[in-house]
Structure 1
Amino acid sequence: MKPAAGWTLRSSERIPWLSTLRVRLILSVSLVHVILMGGFIWDAVNEQSAGIRAELESRGHSLVNLMAVASTNALLSEDLASLGEVTARVRQQPDVAYGLIVDERGEVLASTSGSDVGRSLVTVRPDIAQRHPRLMRLDEPVRVAGRVVGTVYLGLSTAGMHRELQRIRNEGLLFILTALLIGGGAAWLLSYAITRNLHRLGTAVQRIADGDLGARVDVRRRDEVGVLAKAFNGMLDSLRETSQAVVREHEKRMDAERLACVGELAASIAHEIRNPLAAVINSVSLIGQSELDAEDQIKVRRILNDEAGRLQRILESFLDFSRVRESCLERHDLLVLIDEVVTLFANDPDVAGDIEIVRRIDTPAHLAVFDQDQMRQVLWNLMRNAVQAMAGHGRIVVALESSGGHRLRLAIGDNGEGIAPDLLDKVRRPFVSGRKGGTGLGLAIVQRILMQHGTSLHMISQPGRGTEVAFELETL
C-alpha cells in the first residue's frame, strides 16, 4: 500500500522547535511558576520593606523624644555641657547621621558634629544635606509651660535600610530563579512523558505513510494517550484487513482484465489477419492450377505478395506495441527534439512535397522530463498519422506552449479529413483505425508511451476540417 500522492509526514522538518508541544508545555509551566513566585516575592518584599521602614521610623521617634526630654532643663538654663552630653549619647546610637539641639532663635547649641555648634540652622541644613543625601529626618519641639524654647532635630541614615531591602530583593530573585528551574524541570518531565508517546504515534503514522501497515504503538498507559494508542492500533488492524481485501480484489480484477485484454487482442489479431490470410490461402490454391494463363498467374502472385506484406506489417506493429520498454525519464530540451523530428520528417521520401510543416513556440521554457527515444517515436507516429489524414497535401502545425503548473503542452494539428465522432474515442485502442489499410496500433503505442510518462493523449477532431492531438509533460 502506497501513501496518498502529495502526502508525506516529516514532523521534525515541518514543525519549528518553538511550536512543539514539549517547548510550549515547558514555557507554560515555567511562566506560571514565575508569575506565582514573582507575585509572592513581590508581596513579601513590600511587606518586609514596610516593616523595616516602620521600625526605623519608630526608633527615630523614640530617640528624638528622648532627646527633647533630656535637653529641656539644659535649654532653660542654657547648659551647653549638658546639651553636648545629650548629643554625644545620641551619636552612639546606630544609623544616626546627625543630631541637633537648636534654641528658639534658630542657633545650634549642641550637635553630634562639633563644627555645627554656634551656627545658624539655616546655614547648617545645606551642609547636612550634602554630607548625608539619604536620610530620614525627624524633629521635635521642646515646650515648657506651653512655650517652645527650642527644637531637637534628628537624621537617621537609610543606607542600612536600603542594603537590607536590596538583600531581600536579591533573595527574592534567587527564589524566582530557583522556582523557574524547578518548574522548568517538572515541565520537561511532564512534557517528556506526554510527547514520548505522541512521538511513538507519529513514528507509527510515518511508517503507515511509507506503506507499512504492520506498525503498532506500544503504549501501556491508562490515560488519554493510552486510549488513543489503543484506538490507533485498532484502526490499523481494521485498515490492514481492508487493505488486504482491496489487494485481493484488485488482483482478481487485474487477472480478469488481463484475460479480457488477451481475449480482445486475440480477437483483434484474428480479425485483422483473417482477410489477408484468406487471400493468401486462395492465391496459393489458385497458383497451382494449370489452366491459369500467365497474366492471371502474375495477378495471383501480386495478390499473394501484397497480402503477405500486409500480414508482416500487422505482425511488426503488434510486436512494436508489445515491446514498449520502461521509460527512462530525464530532463531534455523539448524544442531540440521537435526541431530534429520536424527536419527528419520533412526530408523523408515518403512525405509528399505538398506538405507544409509549421512550428509555433509560445513559451520560453523548453526543458521537460521525458524519455528521448520514446518521445521521438511519439512525435513521428503523430506526424505520420497527420500526413496520412491529409491525402498528400495540407498543413501540419507543431505547437509548444505552457499549460501552467510546471507543465508544457505539445500539440500537433492538421487540416485533413478528420475523424468520425463515433471513432474518436476508439482510435486509441489496439487494431482500431479510421484509415483503410491501417493496423490501428500507431496511436495505441503512443498512448502506452504517454501513460508511462504520467500523461495521456487528448484529441479534438472535426470531420472535413482536421484533427489536433495534444499531451502535456512535466518540467520538473
Structure 2
Amino acid sequence: MKIKRLGRFTRFIHSFQFRLFAALALMIFTFIPILGYISYLQGKKAAETRIEQYALNTATRIAARVHAYLSHHTSNVRLIKTSFEHQFVDSMDTRAMVRYFHLLRQDHPEFVNISFGDLSGRFVMVPPQSPEVHKLFDPRIRPWYVGAVEAKDVFWTPAYLFASTQQPGITTSIPIVDAHDRIVGVCGIDLDLSTLSQFLLRLRTGSNGSAYIIENKTGHVIAHPDLVKPHWDPDQIKLLSACLTDLRRNNKRFGTTMYGNQPYFTAYTDYPDNDWTLGITLPVSDYLQEVNVIKKTTLAIVCVAILLASVVSYLLSRTITTPLKNLQKGIETVSEGHLDYQVPVQSPDVVGALAEAYNQMAMSLKNNREKLRNTLIALAENEKMAALGQLTAGIAHEIKNPLGVILGSAEVAANTERPVEMREKAARFIIDEIMRLDKTLKGFLDFAKPAPPRFEPADLQTILSETLTLCSERLRQKKIEVIKEFKTDSAACMVDPDQIHQVFINLILNAIDAMPDGGRLIVQSDTRIDPHGFKPLKRVISISDTGTGVAPEHLKTIFEPFASFKDEGTGLGLAVVKQILKLHQATIDVNSQLNHGTTFILMFPCEIREV
C-alpha cells in the first residue's frame, strides 16, 4: 500500500498539473511577499515622516508657549520699569520700594526675588536678606545688572546659582532711566528653574513624551520635567545634551535617541531670545503603533493573499489540466481501437476547440477505417490472386526443368539400343529429379499452409544451443569457428520449439553455405528492455557469418518465395522462416555487405522469469 501511494505521489510530482501549480505558486510566493514588504517599507517611511513633522511642529508650538510664558515675566519687569519711570514708585524711597515688591510677590508667587540696584551700589531685595548681605553685595557687578545696562532693554541671564537660595535659576532684568534717559538703576526678577520645569511638566507632549530646555552656552539642561521629581538620573539628563550635539554635528533637527533604556524620537528648535535650544522627546513605542499596525496588517494580507492565490492557482491548474487529461484519455482509448469514444467538450476555449477537433479526427478515423477495411479486403483478394499467380509460375518453373530432365532420361532408359550403363545413369537422373520435385513440393506446402504453432514457454538460448549441437559436425567439416555470446538471464518466450528449431537450422545452414572456405559463425543472445515501460520485453537473437554476403539489390527480395541466389535450393527457406516468425509475433531483419558477411537479427516478445 505504501509503495502504491509513493508511486501515485511520484507520478503527481512529475505531472503537468503539479509543474503548472508549482510555477504559479513560485511566482505567488515571490511577488506577493516582495510587494507586501515594499508596502510595509512605504507605510513605515510615511509614518516616520509624519512623526518627524509632528515632533518638529510640537517643538515649535512648545517653543511658542515657552516664549509666551517668559514674555509674561518680561511684561512684569517692564511694568516695574514703568512704575519707577512714571514716579508711581520712588527709587530713592527704600520703604516704598520694598512695599511695592512685596505686593508683586503676593500676585506672583513664582518670583523668587525682586531686586533693585542703583549707580551708587545701593541694593534692595525682596524678600530682604541679612544686613551684612546688603552691605557687602554690590549689584553693579552682577550679570543681571551688567547685561541690562549693556542691552538697554530686557535682559535674561544664563542659569546660575542664586546667592540667596543656592538654587539654580535665571534672572530677567531691565534698566531704569530718568526723564533724561539716563540709567539710574536696574530692576530684576529671579525665577527658579524648577518653575520652568513645572511649566514644561504641565505641557501635553503625548502620554510619555517630554519637553526640555538646553542652554547653548554651557550645554546644560536647565529645565526638564524630571528635574522636579524626587528621584531623577543626572546621567540621563546629560545624555539629552549629548544627543543635541550629535544631531547638530550631522546638520539634523530630528533623530532617534536612547533615554531611560528606551528609544525616543527627538526634535530640536532654537529659542534665540535666550540663546536656548528647546527639545522634545517622544517614545518610539507610542508613535510607532501605527507602523506596527501596518506591519501586522501587511503580514495578514500577505498570508491571506498567498493562501487565496494558492487555492486559485490549484483550481486554475486543475481547470487547465482536466481537459488535457480528458484529451489524453481519449487519445489512449482511440489508440486501443475504440474510435467511437468522444472527448467531452466543457469549455469554448482553446482546449475545448482542441477536443472538438480531436473528436472530429476520431470520427474521420472511424470512417476512414471502414473505407480502409473495404480497400484492404479488395487488396487482399488482388494480392491473393497475384500471389497465387506468382506461386503457380514459380511451381511451374521449378517443376518444368526436372520434368524435362525426367522425360529425356526416360527416353534414354526406354531405348534398348543404348548401352546398359547409359540407361542405368538415366534411371539415376530420373530418381534424383523426382526427389528434387518432392523436396520442392514439400517446401511449397510448408509455405502455403504452415502448421499452426503449439505455444509453450521455452528458452530461446537453449533451443539455439541444441541447434548448434546438431550442426556441429557440418560446421567442423567446413572449418567454421562458432562464437557464442549469451546473456546469463533466463527470459521465457511463448514459442513452438519445433518451428523455432526449424528457423535456426535454416539460418545456420544458409550461413554454412555462405562460407565454403570456412570462417566464423557468431551467435548472440541479449535482452532489450523498454525504459518507459510502454513496450514488452524483447529477446534478441543475432546470427552472423563472415561469408560471401548478399548483394544490395538482392536484400529487398531475400524473404520472398523462390528468391534463391544459390545453385541449389528452392528459394523458400527464408520465406518459411519469416512466415513462422510472423506467427510468433516476432521480427527478422538482415544486414549484409558483399564479401564481408551477413547478420540476421530476430526479436521475440518475452518476459524475464525462471523457465
Instruction: Give the TM-score taking structure 2 as reference length.
Output: 0.57
**Amino acid corresponding to residue 446 of structure 1 in structure 2:** V
Per-residue CA distance 1:149-197 (angstroms, 9 max, x = gap) = x554432222212233122211122123223333444444444444433
Aligned partner of residue 394 in structure 1, secondary structure: coil
Partner of 2:196 in structure 1?
83
**Amino acid corresponding to residue 86 of structure 1 in structure 2:** F
Partner of 2:298 in structure 1?
172
1:398: how far off? 0.7
For the Cα contact (< 8 Å) 2:586–2:604, is it kept in 1? no
The share of aligned pairs that are identical, in percent, is 23
Aligned partner of residue 252 in structure 1, secondary structure: helix
Of 109-118 and 219-228, deviating more is 109-118
Cα distance in 1 between the residues matched to 2:211 and 2:198: 14
For the Cα contact (< 8 Å) 1:357–1:395, is it kept in 2? yes
Cα distance in 2 between the residues matched to 1:242 and 1:27: 47
Alignment equivalent of 1:244, drawn from 353, 356, 370: 370
Partner of 1:6 in structure 2?
none
Partner of 1:135 in structure 2?
264
Aligned partner of residue 214 in structure 1, secondary structure: coil
Partner of 2:19 in structure 1?
19
Cα distance in 2 between the residues matched to 1:170 and 1:210: 58
1:411: how far off? 1.6
Aligned partner of residue 589 in structure 2, secondary structure: coil
Structure (1 or 2) with the larger CA radius of gyration? 2
Instruction: Show the 5 A alignment for 1:49-448.
Output: 49-70=48-69, 73=73, 75-76=170-171, 77-90=190-203, 93-97=206-210, 99-100=212-213, 105-113=218-226, 114=229, 115=231, 122=238, 125=241, 129=258, 131-140=260-269, 146-148=273-275, 150-273=276-399, 306=432, 309-321=435-447, 322-323=449-450, 340-347=466-473, 351=474, 354-360=477-483, 376-385=501-510, 394-399=517-522, 409-414=542-547, 428-433=559-564, 438-448=569-579
Partner of 2:184 in structure 1?
none
Alignment equivalent of 1:471, drawn from 589, 595, 600: 600
**Amino acid corresponding to residue 384 of structure 1 in structure 2:** L
Higher RCO (C-alpha 8 Å, min separation 6): 1
**Amino acid corresponding to residue 395 of structure 1 in structure 2:** G
Cα distance in 1 between the residues matched to 2:597 and 2:268: 111
Q: 1:17 to 1:198 in 2, by over 3 A?
A: closer
**Amino acid corresponding to residue 448 of structure 1 in structure 2:** Q
Partner of 1:7 in structure 2?
none
Per-residue CA distance 1:186-215 (angstroms, 9 max, x = gap) = 444444444433333333233334333323
Cα distance in 2 between the residues matched to 1:447 and 1:284: 39
Per-residue CA distance 1:299-318 (angstroms, 9 max, x = gap) = 89867765554444334333
Cα distance in 1 between the residues matched to 2:414 and 2:239: 156
For the Cα contact (< 8 Å) 2:581–2:588, is it kept in 1? yes
Q: 1:130 to 1:55 in 2, by over 3 A?
A: closer
Partner of 2:89 in structure 1?
none
Cα distance in 2 between the residues matched to 1:422 and 1:217: 49
Per-residue CA distance 1:397-427 (angstroms, 9 max, x = gap) = 2135899x99775322446xx9899988666
**Amino acid corresponding to residue 411 of structure 1 in structure 2:** S
Cα distance in 1 between the residues matched to 2:519 and 2:23: 65
1:356: how far off? 0.9
For the Cα contact (< 8 Å) 1:368–1:474, is it kept in 2? no
For the Cα contact (< 8 Å) 2:346–2:352, is it kept in 1? yes
**Amino acid corresponding to residue 191 of structure 2 in structure 1:** E
Q: 1:186 to 1:316 in 2, by over 3 A?
A: same
Cα distance in 2 between the residues matched to 1:88 and 1:332: 106
For the Cα contact (< 8 Å) 1:64–1:138, is it kept in 2? no
For the Cα contact (< 8 Å) 1:110–1:117, is it kept in 2? no
Aligned partner of residue 229 in structure 1, secondary structure: helix
**Amino acid corresponding to residue 59 of structure 1 in structure 2:** T
Per-residue CA distance 1:98-139 (angstroms, 9 max, x = gap) = 645659655555432245599997577579945244122344
Cα distance in 2 between the residues matched to 1:118 and 1:378: 113
Aligned partner of residue 429 in structure 1, secondary structure: coil
1:442: how far off? 2.2
Aligned partner of residue 440 in structure 1, secondary structure: coil
Q: 1:141 to 1:218 in 2, by over 3 A?
A: closer
Count of residue correspondences: 448
**Amino acid corresponding to residue 569 of structure 2 in structure 1:** G
Per-residue CA distance 1:215-268 (angstroms, 9 max, x = gap) = 323225444444333333333333332333233322322232223223333443
Instruction: Give the TM-score taking structure 1 as reference length.
Output: 0.70
Of 295-304 and 215-224, deviating more is 295-304
Cα distance in 2 between the residues matched to 1:422 and 1:176: 75
For the Cα contact (< 8 Å) 2:511–2:521, is it kept in 1? no
Of 248-257 and 292-301, deviating more is 292-301
Cα distance in 2 between the residues matched to 1:258 and 1:373: 28
For the Cα contact (< 8 Å) 2:542–2:599, is it kept in 1? yes
**Amino acid corresponding to residue 450 of structure 2 in structure 1:** R
Q: 1:286 to 1:364 in 2, by over 3 A?
A: closer
For the Cα contact (< 8 Å) 1:33–1:180, is it kept in 2? yes
Q: 1:172 to 1:93 in 2, by over 3 A?
A: closer
**Amino acid corresponding to residue 82 of structure 1 in structure 2:** T
Partner of 2:114 in structure 1?
none
For the Cα contact (< 8 Å) 1:96–1:155, is it kept in 2? yes
